[in-house]
Each structure stands twice: as structure tokens, then as C-alpha cells.
């Protein structure tokens, strides 16, 4: 019977499931025509490289765009998101199905990267998540140019970003440094339009909400406004940071509505909140933290790092993968969430991870919670 069900809202966008004229569709209504065009263009750019649901129609009504995709999985077929496989593996302590998904996902990634990787300028890649945010007037300016105070952990003292310049940041007993002005300049230089970067055809925002898997058909990718030629270190940093911090804690905490259909993931994130203590003096910021993203996410991180990131870096002649990823990891920590607006403990945790990320002496495995 024809019908439209399962309305969901994702920021400003709305989605529905529709069963019309014998076809199962996923409908998405967007109020931003630029964003909608970017999604349609991204879908066209990667559909020859990645399994994606077919785009059946795109209709305009004033500022709104209604896009119709084939619904995944089709009625009567099994399929699940990577997010749900991670949640289930964490609950059951068994990674069999998760590993089947990861193996097919990694195999496909390696094949596409091997066939499409090339040197490019940043301006030739999809710039939304990195270069645009680092550029003057982008998110870094919007979040931090006013030098609004950072509320840090259990400290009663607020700390402005500018005050971190020259201040030792002691994280779990080790001294680091964060100079916001120099950091923003460095990000802009590394992500400037003419800077060279290794790039490949990629989805661009590989969160576990944007990747699905079917035992019969393998992986599938969703959400295409950043799809196309992307910086390889940006793709890798997005996936790793999401598994390490955002998916494991910050996104469920800050945007629980995105997990309305995945309550197990919310429960898993809430079950292991970070333990954070911070103390601010006129001379020092001290942060002690522990945060375990969970055994299933650590398993995902380890496989992705060892089977995608490190082999690809080696093939491209990247001798120091942590250095290669560092500006992109820093941008994921700075420019996804505004650190001046987070809960104080989450600000402290993000600053601690940022300080460790910026320090060349911090092993990549430590940043990714793969060491005790």
C-alpha cells in the first residue's frame, strides 16, 4: 500500500521512507539549494566507484529540494549500519559480523584508492571539511577569533584561547603546548588552496552513520555532499577521530537526536563517560583524563589503521603517517565542535587530545587509544 512513514529531522533536513508505485524510496528534503546540488554532484562523482543507492528524482519547490533515493536495504533484505555492528560487537564481545563488514569495506577502499590516488592541490579537492573551515572567515574564525573563554573541566577559572600561548599544558603528566594563534596560522598554511596533497575519490565524511553493510551485497555509502576527490589524510583523520572521540562520546552527547533509531549506540556511549580532571593556574593548564572508546571501536580503529592508513601511506612514500595526519586531526578536534561551547569536561578532553596531537613525540597509537 502506498504510504510515507518514518519522518526524521537531521539539523535542517527532513527524511522519510516512502512506498510508492511498487518502489521503496528514501526521501530527503533540504532547505538549502547549494547543499542539495552538492549532494547530487557528489553522488554522481562516486557512483561509479562505490556502491550507493540509486538517485531516482530531484524536485525543486522554492528553496526546498526533495531528493528520492532507492531505500536501503530494500524490503525483505538484511542490512545494517556500521554503527549498529560496532554497538552489537561491544555488547556481545564478538566481532565476527563486524569483521566481515570491515573486511569488505577495507577491501573496497583499498581498491578505489589504488585506482584513483593522485597528487592534487587542495583547491582541486572537496574543501568543505578542512580548507574552507581553516580559511579566513571559516569555522576557526567563527569559533575562536573572538577569544571567548574556554570552560575547562572542574576548574572554576575560565581560560581564553589566547592565554594558552606560552602556557605549559600538562596532559596525564606529560608537558605539551597549544598556541592558538600559531595553530590557526599553521592550519591555514597546511590547508591553503595551492598546497599539494595526496587525494583520491572518497566519500569524504566516513562516519559509521554514513556506511552500511549487507552480508549479501557488501558495503554501501550514504551522504554525498563531500563526495568526490578528497584529501586522503582528511578522509583518514575523519574516520579515526570519529571512532576515537566523536562517535564514541561527543556526538551522542551533543546530538542524541541523530541516534533516535540507534538507542544501543546512545547507551554504549553513556556507559563509559570520560574521566577528566582539570586545573588552571596563572601559569599552567593541567588535565588528567582517561577515555576508552570501547573494545569494539578500538578494534575498528586498529584494523583501519593497520589495513588502510599505514599501507596506503607506505605506498605513497609517507615516512611519518602521524605528521601527515596531524593538521587534519587537529582540524577535527577544533572545527567540528566549538570548544568554547562544550561541557567543561568535554572541552578539557578535547584540549588534552589536541595538545597530544600537536606534539610530534606522541605516538599515533596513543592518540587513538590503542596503547594502555
The pLDDT value given to residue 1: 44
Task: State the cell numbers at 205.
Answer: 565524511
The pLDDT value given to residue 175: 97
At 56 the three-state DSSP class reads strand
Q: CATH for 3-70?
A: 3.30.200.20
CATH architecture of the domain formed by 81-367: Alpha-Beta Complex (3.90)
For the stretch 354-364, pLDDT in tens is 999 999 999 99
Can you tell me which residue has the cell 587513538?
368
Strand partners, 120: 197
Contact 73, 214 (CB under 8 A): yes
Percentage of the chain lying above the pLDDT 90 cut:
88
Question: How sure is the predictor about 2, in pLDDT bands with cuts at 50, 70 and 90?
Answer: low
pTM for the predicted model, two decimal places: 0.96
DSSP 8-class letter at 62: T
pLDDT at 3 over 50: yes
For the stretch 259-293, pLDDT in tens is 999 999 999 888 779 999 999 988 999 999 999 99
Query: How large is the average pLDDT for residues 337-362?
Result: 97
Cα–Cα dist 16/45, whole Å: 24
List Cα–Cα distances, 184 to 82, 134, 189, 286, in angstroms: 33, 7, 9, 22
Task: State the cell numbers at 4.
Answer: 510515507
Q: Which residues of 238-251 are buried (b: 16+ CB within 10 A; e: fewer)?
A: bbbbbbbbbbbbbb
What residues contact 259, with CB distance under 8 A and at least 6 apart?
Answer: 252, 265, 266
Residue 185: closest CA among 330, 322, 349, 285: 330
For the stretch 109-134, pLDDT in tens is 999 999 999 999 999 999 999 999 99
User: Would you list the domain boundaries of the chain?
Assistant: 3-70, 81-367
For the stretch 71-93, pLDDT in tens is 999 877 789 999 999 999 999 99
Query: How large is the average pLDDT for residues 251-259?
Result: 92
The pLDDT value given to residue 162: 96
DSSP 8-class letter at 148: P
The pLDDT value given to residue 155: 67
Percentage of the chain lying above the pLDDT 70 cut:
99
Amino acid at each position: 500500500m502506498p504510504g510515507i512513514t518514518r519522518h526524521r529531522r537531521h539539523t535542517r533536513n527532513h527524511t522519510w521512507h516512502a512506498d510508492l508505485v511498487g518502489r521503496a524510496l528514501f526521501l530527503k528534503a533540504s532547505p538549502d539549494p547549494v547543499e542539495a546540488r552538492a549532494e547530487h554532484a557528489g553522488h554522481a562523482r562516486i557512483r561509479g566507484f562505490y556502491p550507493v543507492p540509486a538517485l531516482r528524482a530531484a524536485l525543486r519547490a522554492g528553496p526546498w529540494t526533495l531528493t528520492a533515493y532507492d531505500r536501503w536495504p530494500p524490503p525483505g533484505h538484511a542490512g545494517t549500519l556500521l554503527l549498529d555492528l560496532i554497538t552489537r560487537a561491544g555488547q556481545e564481545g564478538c566481532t565476527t559480523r563486524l569483521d566481515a563488514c570491515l573486511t569488505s569495506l577495507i577491501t573496497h577502499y583499498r581498491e578505489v584508492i589504488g585506482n584513483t590516488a593522485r597528487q592534487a592541490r587542495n583547491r582541486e579537492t572537496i574543501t568543505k571539511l578542512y580548507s574552507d573551515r581553516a580559511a579566513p572567515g571559516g569555522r576557526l574564525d567563527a569559533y575562536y577569533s573572538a577569544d571567548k573563554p574556554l570552560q575547562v573541566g572542574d576548574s572554576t577559572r575560565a581560560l581564553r584561547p589566547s592565554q594558552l600561548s606560552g602556557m605549559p599544558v600538562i596532559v596525564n603528566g606529560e608537558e605539551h603546548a597549544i598556541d592558538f594563534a600559531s595553530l590557526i596560522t599553521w592550519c591555514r598554511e597546511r590547508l591553503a588552496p595551492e598546497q599539494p596533497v595526496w587525494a583520491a575519490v572518497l566519500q569524504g565524511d566516513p562516519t559509521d552513520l554514513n556506511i552500511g553493510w549487507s552480508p549479501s551485497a557488501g558495503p554501501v555509502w550514504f551522504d554525498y555532499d563531500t563526495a568526490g576527490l578528497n584529501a586522503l589524510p582528511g578522509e583518514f583523520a575523519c574516520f579515526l577521530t570519529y571512532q576515537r572521540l566523536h562517535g564514541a562520546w561527543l556526538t551522542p552527547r551533543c546530538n542524541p537526536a541523530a541516534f533516535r533509531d540507534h538507542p544501543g549506540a546512545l547507551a554504549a556511549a553513556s556507559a563509559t563517560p570520560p574521566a577528566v580532571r582539570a586545573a588552571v593556574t596563572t601559569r599552567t593548564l593541567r588535565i588528567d583524563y582517561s577515555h576508552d572508546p570501547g573494545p569494539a571501536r578500538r578494534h575498528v580503529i586498529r584494523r583501519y589503521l593497520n589495513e588502510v592508513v599505514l599501507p596506503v601511506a607506505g605506498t605513497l612514500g609517507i615516512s611519518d603517517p602521524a605528521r601527515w595526519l596531524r593538521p587534519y586531526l587537529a582540524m577535527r578536534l577544533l572545527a567540528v565542535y566549538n570548544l568554547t561551547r562544550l561541557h567543561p569536561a568535554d572541552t578539557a578532553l578535547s584540549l588534552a587530545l589536541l595538545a597530544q596531537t600537536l606534539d610530534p613525540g606522541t605516538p599515533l597509537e596513543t592518540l587513538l587509544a590503542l596503547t594502555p
